[in-house]
Structures are given as C-alpha cells and as structure tokens.
C-alpha cells in the first residue's frame, strides 16, 4: 500500500513540476535546534533536501544522525525519510508527514535487527528572510499512530532518551530554481 501511495505522490509531484506556472525550487536546510542535549542524552541532527513543486506542495528528504552523549555506549543511528509537505494556507503554516522513515543503527551495542521503521508527522511555519533564505521552526511527532511500536521501543532501548516529540529549527537556502 505504501508503494502505491508513494508512486501516486511521485506522479502528482512530477506532473506539477512540469505543468505548473510558478517556478519550482530545490532547497537545502540544516537543523540548528540543539535542544536535545538539554533534555535527553542524545544529539539528533538533520539535513533536509526539499523539492518545492508549488507554493503549496513539497517533497522532502531529511537525512538524520543520532549520537548518544553517554561515551560508554557504542551506537550511532543514521536515518532518512521521504516526507510530503502541504501548506493549506497561504501564510507559511505547513503540515508534513512521512511516506517512509527508516533508522539504521550501527555500532557494537546496536541490536541484531538494526533497521527500524517509523512514521513522522510535523507541523511548522516558514519564515522567508529573503528570496533565498528561510527559517522553519517545527514540532515533529514520531509514531503518532502507534503502528511501529516495536521500532520505537528498540530505539528507546538503544538510545535511552530517543524522543517521541521533537522541536526543530531549520535554516535553509534555495539552491536551484526551475522555471
């Protein structure tokens, strides 16, 4: 089912990319919210690549890394997802959900089954500083619907304070404009 939904969104995005009157952009953004070490014993950081098809729809590929702050644990998490972002209003508010999210755990203390699947739902706001720079504060919920409960338990066992809710602050730049 996820493959069908993913292919549907790829077809919609690609058709809008070539048929839309407004220009599409390719963005890159870095997460600068380092709130995690204040509350948890991990560092969770993310870089996001976005294809803004129209002003309402975007396809995002965030790549994240997770490090424990406890030096006695030998584990690192590397993950990524494919997110669909929708701006229902014209003022910068957006909602984003993952089509697929995977976390790969590596290291001596990694579990035997080291690939974990999650889902993510995010709400945020885009502040355009200039034509090319933007800031996006957001809040993300992992495994909100409870489908991947085993994965969230495995991640919380591997990283003692893996968050179920996370605040982020993306600082981004438009690197390409498609006319």
pLDDT tens readout for residues 73-115? 778 889 999 999 998 877 789 999 998 889 898 888 777 788 8
Q: Rounded to an integer, what distance in angstroms lies between the CA atom of residue 163 and that of residue 16?
A: 35
pTM to 2 decimal places: 0.80
In this prediction, residue 6 carries a pLDDT of 55
Q: Rounded to an integer, what distance in angstroms lies between the CA atom of residue 91 and that of residue 126?
A: 8
* Percentage above 70 pLDDT, the chain: 84
pLDDT tens readout for residues 134-170? 999 999 998 887 788 888 888 877 777 777 888 889 9
Task: Say if residue 17's pLDDT is above 50.
Answer: no
> Please, what sign has the CA dihedral across residues 161, 167, 172, 178?
positive
CATH architecture of 2-178: Beta Barrel (2.40)
User: Under 8 Å CB-to-CB from 35, ≥6 apart: which residues?
Assistant: 167
């Amino acid at each position: 089912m996820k493959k069908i939904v993913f292919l549907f969104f790829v077809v919609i995005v690609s058709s809008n990319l070539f048929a839309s009157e407004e220009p599409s952009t390719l963005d890159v953004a870095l997460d600068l919210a380092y709130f995690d070490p204040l509350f948890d014993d991990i560092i969770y950081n993310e870089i996001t690549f976005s294809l803004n098809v129209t002003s309402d729809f975007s396809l995002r590929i965030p790549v994240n890394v997770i490090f424990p702050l406890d030096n006695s644990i030998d584990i690192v998490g590397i993950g990524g997802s494919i997110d669909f972002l929708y701006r229902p209003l014209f003022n910068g508010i957006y909602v984003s959900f993952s089509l697929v999210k995977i976390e790969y755990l590596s290291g001596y203390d990694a579990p035997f089954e080291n690939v974990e699947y999650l889902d993510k739902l995010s709400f945020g706001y885009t502040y355009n500083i200039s034509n090319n720079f933007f800031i996006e504060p957001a809040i993300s919920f992992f495994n909100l619907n409870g489908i991947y409960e085993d994965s969230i338990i495995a991640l919380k066992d591997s990283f003692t304070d893996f968050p179920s809710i996370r605040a982020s602050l993306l600082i981004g730049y438009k690197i390409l404009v498609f006319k």
